Amino acid sequence: MSFDPAFSAQRLSYQVPGLGESELATTPLAQFRTWYDDALAHPDVTEPNAMAVATVDAHGAPSVRTVLLKQAERLGFVFFTNYASRKATDLAARPVAALDLVWMPLHRQVSVRGVVERVDAAATAEYFGSRPWGSRIGAWASHQSRVVASRTVFEDRQREFAERWPDSGRPDDVPVPPDWGGFRVRPVEIEFWQGQPSRLHDRLVFLPAGADPEAVRVDAGAGLPVLDDASGWQVVRREP
């Protein structure tokens, strides 16, 4: 095999402070908030809440896409989508997912594995009302993930719904589509990765207290720990 230097020669040595156990917050939520605030404040990080979401379908085939994280709270990480989309269809068949947020200017990433549940209708309505009017109209116009003959098809739908629900400046001027809402990923594993020189990166991982670090199951078992309770978690270091 002949390696293309456009790929193989690309290397960056991460000359930044490491992440030691003594610097880690006592809960995964506190640690995530600290790192997220750092990313939010960094001038070279655009869309700090952009995250990859990986799912598997009923046949075990994987898919991954980038969405926007809309909440990080004690129960987990929340994003919103069309419930008829590929990701939602995957999650209906297998309610597990992996998330990855990467902040390269800080040489950091947070990786999550967990079980998935829908958020309630009230939370969906609250978030939907906070979106810009155009995004709310777009949620009606797009049959997300379906094949479409041309862009004109959904642009025509967009105009139709824009005429039906003109922008009045109110959060309730566009109703929530019946097939649109939120998912919450409830973690069973949260890894904080800090780049280090010579690829000897720091990887500190929050796992449920008492779980086997080498065989953590991602399933819908009862008793998933909340993210702001230190007693529910243990921390292990993984080799880079």
Residue type, 203: R
The position carrying tokens 């709270």 is: 73
Tell me how far apart the alpha carbons of residues 76 and 112 are, in angstroms, rounded to a whole number: 10
Nearest to 207 by CA among 131, 112, 67, 72: 112
Known binder of ligand: residue 80?
yes
**Looking at 74, 146, 159, 199, which residue is catalytic?**
199
Known binder of ligand: residue 124?
no
- In order, the DSSP letters of 26-57 are SSHHHHHHHHHHHHHH-TT---TTEEEEEEE-
Known binder of ligand: residue 204?
no
**Residue 236: in which H helix or E strand, if any?**
strand 233-237
> Which value, to the nearest 10 degrees, does the dihedral of the CA atoms of residues 81, 82, 87, 91 take?
90
Known binder of ligand: residue 144?
yes
Nearest to 236 by CA among 54, 11, 21, 38: 21
Known binder of ligand: residue 157?
no
Known binder of ligand: residue 127?
yes
Known binder of ligand: residue 199?
yes
Known binder of ligand: residue 193?
yes
Known binder of ligand: residue 150?
no
Known binder of ligand: residue 234?
no
**Residue 121: in which H helix or E strand, if any?**
helix 121-130
The answer to whether residues 117 and 187 touch, using CB atoms and an 8 Å cutoff, is no
Known binder of ligand: residue 68?
yes
Known binder of ligand: residue 201?
yes
217 to each of 35, 208, 211, how far by Cα in Å?
26, 10, 9
**Is 74 marked active-site?**
no
Q: Which residues are annotated as a binding site for FMN?
A: 65-70, 80-81, 86-87, 109, 144-145, 193, 203
Q: Which residues are annotated as a binding site for substrate?
A: 70, 127, 131, 135, 199-201
Q: Which residues are annotated as a binding site?
A: 65-70, 80-81, 86-87, 109, 127, 131, 135, 144-145, 193, 199-201, 203
Give catalytic residue positions. Answer: 199
